[in-house]
Amino acid sequence: MSRLKADTIQSTGGGAATLTKQSAAKHFVNFDASSGTPTSQKSFNVSSLTDTAAGQFGINFTNNYDDANFSLSGYANANTGNSFNSNMSWGLGTSYVITTTTGTHELLSFLHGASYIDSKHCDAQGFGDLA
């Protein structure tokens, strides 16, 4: 049996290798912002998190997307335990209008009818083509 082991696979030009005929997430992050500063628990293709204001975060990519039209999804949970807060919601920008660039996007967490809050459990992931 043959085995292929590698720490990094790059394109011939030295950039990120392109996945063909696959729809794998090109970035994801799980972070805790309950202390007021977002702390990554686990991530892929995320270089840093920015705390813009209470409940408002910037997610910065290691490898950029080829344009700002990638698909996003996310989740936030204000509780410290395993139960879901039914009043908790998340958004990707003010009034669900997201600010994206090829290198970053916003994630907002808030209670319905209330202000933004720093959540215990936040997730975000994106799909699209990398540059």
Asked whether residue 9 is domain-assigned, the answer is no
Number of domains in the chain: 1
Asked whether residue 4 is domain-assigned, the answer is no
Asked whether residue 37 is domain-assigned, the answer is yes
Question: What's the predicted TM-score (pTM) here?
Answer: 0.72
Asked whether residue 21 is domain-assigned, the answer is no
Asked whether residue 5 is domain-assigned, the answer is no
pLDDT on residue 48: 96
Q: Which residues contact residue 3 at a Cβ distance below 8 angstroms, ignoring those fewer than 6 apart?
A: none
pLDDT in tens, 53-103: 888 888 999 999 999 999 888 877 765 444 444 444 555 443 344 678 999
Asked whether residue 7 is domain-assigned, the answer is no
Measured between alpha carbons, how far is residue 88 from residues 46, 97, 121, 127 in Å? 24, 18, 11, 24
- Determine the 3-state secondary structure of 95 from DSSP: helix
Asked whether residue 31 is domain-assigned, the answer is yes
Asked whether residue 112 is domain-assigned, the answer is yes
Domain span holding position 122 = 27-94+102-127
Q: In this structure, how many other beta carbons lie within 10 angstroms of the beta carbon of residue 48?
A: 14
Which of these, 47, 68, 63, lies nearest to 11 by C-alpha position?
A: 63
Q: Which residue has the higher pLDDT, 95 or 51?
A: 51
User: Which segments within the chain are labelled E, that is strand?
Assistant: 27-32, 39-44, 46-53, 56-61, 71-77, 88-91, 104-111, 121-127
